[in-house]
Amino acid sequence: MWRKILSLLFDFYDYLLLVFLLILSFIILFMNEAPQIRSLQGDIADVFAFVHYPGMWINDLSGLLKENEELKQENLQLKLQNIEFKEAYLENQRLKRMLGFMDSTHYEIIPAKVINRGTSPAMNSILLNVGKRQGIKPNMTVISTKGIIGKTIAVGDKTTQCQVFTDVNFRLSVKFQSSRVLGIAQWTPNGSALVREIPGTAKIKPGELVLTSGYSQIYPPNIIVGEVIEIIKNENEPYQSVIIKTSADVNSLEEAFVILSY
């Protein structure tokens, strides 16, 4: 084995000597501090600078990718904070309206928060975060700052299920504020309410307010229901029908009140 190694060394003696001398020359060259040598070192460094470019490019690219990822995370955090601030502002505005409503009404009411919604073939309902502990019972009126919502139907210690007016089985005795005509409102699948069999001689106008009539053991009088948007008349029949647009929006409802007594 040593013979082979020695044989290779003798065969490539000239090349090995050349490499050794080149390495030695570079060492001596770069260790020399003479001005001419320093200038030559700079020229050599310029010639071989391209060797460092790929590494520099990779480092720059890695830094840009990391910075971009950090900016994305910061942007997401700012968006989430902005949403939280907006939600807090909107909730604050709603609570202010609720406090103003509580101060202005003569009913004994309990504020509540909507914690769930239920839609089924049997009934449309909402779930409130109040119950028997707050004095809630079945068949109590549920309202918002904008008007009628529905009634309580199933009451637990801490929660209450309420039937809302969007339920097709919901009925409400109403009166038209200006004409003083009475009727029974029934909600339709398109979200509006229809009052049928109103005497054809009644002078009802679009935009007229519709209120609860008070002829009920559940709903007190003069709670806003909505306003008239269309009057349907048939010359051959003695009755007319009226379509009502509700004031309250159950789909966007977040807070409500339960009327304990009136």
Residue-wise pLDDT tens digits, 49-98: 555 556 566 666 666 667 777 776 776 666 656 656 565 556 656 655 65
Is pLDDT of 211 > 90?
yes
Q: Can you give the length of the chain in residues? A: 262
**Residue 195 contacts residue 179 (beta carbons within 8 Å):** no
175-191 pLDDT per residue, tens:
999 999 999 999 887 77
Is pLDDT of 246 > 60?
yes
- pTM of this prediction? 0.62
pLDDT of residue 127: 94
Output the CA torsion sign for 250, 253, 257, 262.
negative
User: pLDDT class for 132, splitting at 50, 70, 90?
Assistant: very high
pLDDT, mean over the chain: 78
